[in-house]
Amino acid sequence: MTPPHTLHHVPEPVPADQLHDAPTRESSEAPVMSARYPSLRDKRVIVTGGATGIGEAIVEGFALQGAQVGFVDILGGPAQDLIRRLAEAHHVPVFLEQDVADAAALGDTLAGLVEALGGCDVLINNAASDDRHALDVVTPAYWDQRLAVNLKHAFFASQGVWPEMKANGGGVILNLGSISWHLGLDDLALYQIAKAGIEGLTRSLARELGPFNIRVNTIIPGNVQTERQMRWYTPEGEAEIIAAQCLKGRLQPTDVAAMALFLASDDARFCTAHEYWVDGGWR
């Protein structure tokens, strides 16, 4: 289960002599979203995959800035838990259950969210699924499914909202990339292919949508301690990650959400077409 709040604890740096003891989630819990961006208040923000993990922190971060957030996910239960937690927010987030891999249905669902929010100023293409697989098991159908859940939806979700952004005089699209393909990891070929494509998508959209004052960027997380990632961890694996990073602690979802808030705000008004890393200096 997702812990109730990860926003209000300052992480302790890991002393150099304790680097072999991989910190637990509890010891590295991060706050970090203390910045306030007045330009985000009342902004209409749509997040895919917003029920858990980094997406959850992004939904929460924008809601705490006073933004109106709409999000989709396949996990209805955690989404409702999140909405309950944010019941006192300036705008309580709106949730619609939707599999992003169904591009046509996603288009209809996003149209519903745009209507519910009264427009869309910010889209965050966050949903993804990093299932492991061997090269030999890849079939054309599996390829299509993995690319649909990790890349295709980001294009079509963007296409669904950019007419609205153009009509409004601008907007922001943030795509979640991944450090994985930069490192070239085992058993993640289709995910890594898709995430390489995310960076190409960002560059392409930024160029063509820039004249409409739409900024498009990729956020590249390193290894972030989400509930899902917990299943892959071993103490040795976590110690290796910490050893590889310049900074000796474990990234939390809020560390990535903090970057999303900045990039979506007017403070980042000339930031577009690029990759913004939040990886503790791993790569």
Note the residues at the interface with ligand NAD (CB under 6 A).
Answer: 49, 51-55, 72-75, 99-101, 126-130, 149, 176, 178-179, 221, 223-224, 226, 228-229
Active site residue 191: yes
Least distance CB 121 / ligand NAD (angstroms): 21
Return the closest-CA partner of residue 55 out of 201, 191, 176.
176
Closest CA to 175 of 189, 157, 193, 163: 157
Distance from C-alpha of 129 to C-alpha of 195, rounded to nearest angstrom:
11
Please list the residues that pair with 46 across neighbouring strands: 70, 123
185 or 212: CB nearest ligand NAD? 185
Does the CA dihedral 246-247-251-256 come out positive or negative? negative
Judged by beta carbon, residue 79 or residue 165, the one nearer ligand NAD is 79
Helix (H, G, I), strand (E, B) or coil at 191: helix
- Cβ-closest residue to ligand NAD? 53
**Identity of the residue, 178 or 254, whose beta carbon is nearer to ligand NAD in the bound complex:** 178
State the catalytic residue, choosing from 37, 142, 191, 233: 191
- Output 39 or 129, the one with its CB closest to ligand NAD: 129
The backbone region for 80, taken as left when phi is positive above 0, alpha when psi lies in -120 to 50, beta otherwise, is alpha
Minimum gap (Å) between residue 155 Cβ and ligand NAD? 14
Determine which helix (DSSP H) or strand (DSSP E) holds 215, and give its type and residue range: strand 214-221
- Within 10 angstroms of residue 38's Cβ, the number of other Cβ atoms is 10
Minimum Å gap between C-beta 180 and ligand NAD is: 6
Give min distance, CB of 254 to ligand NAD, in A: 11
Rg (CA), the chain: 18
Positions annotated as catalytic residues are 191
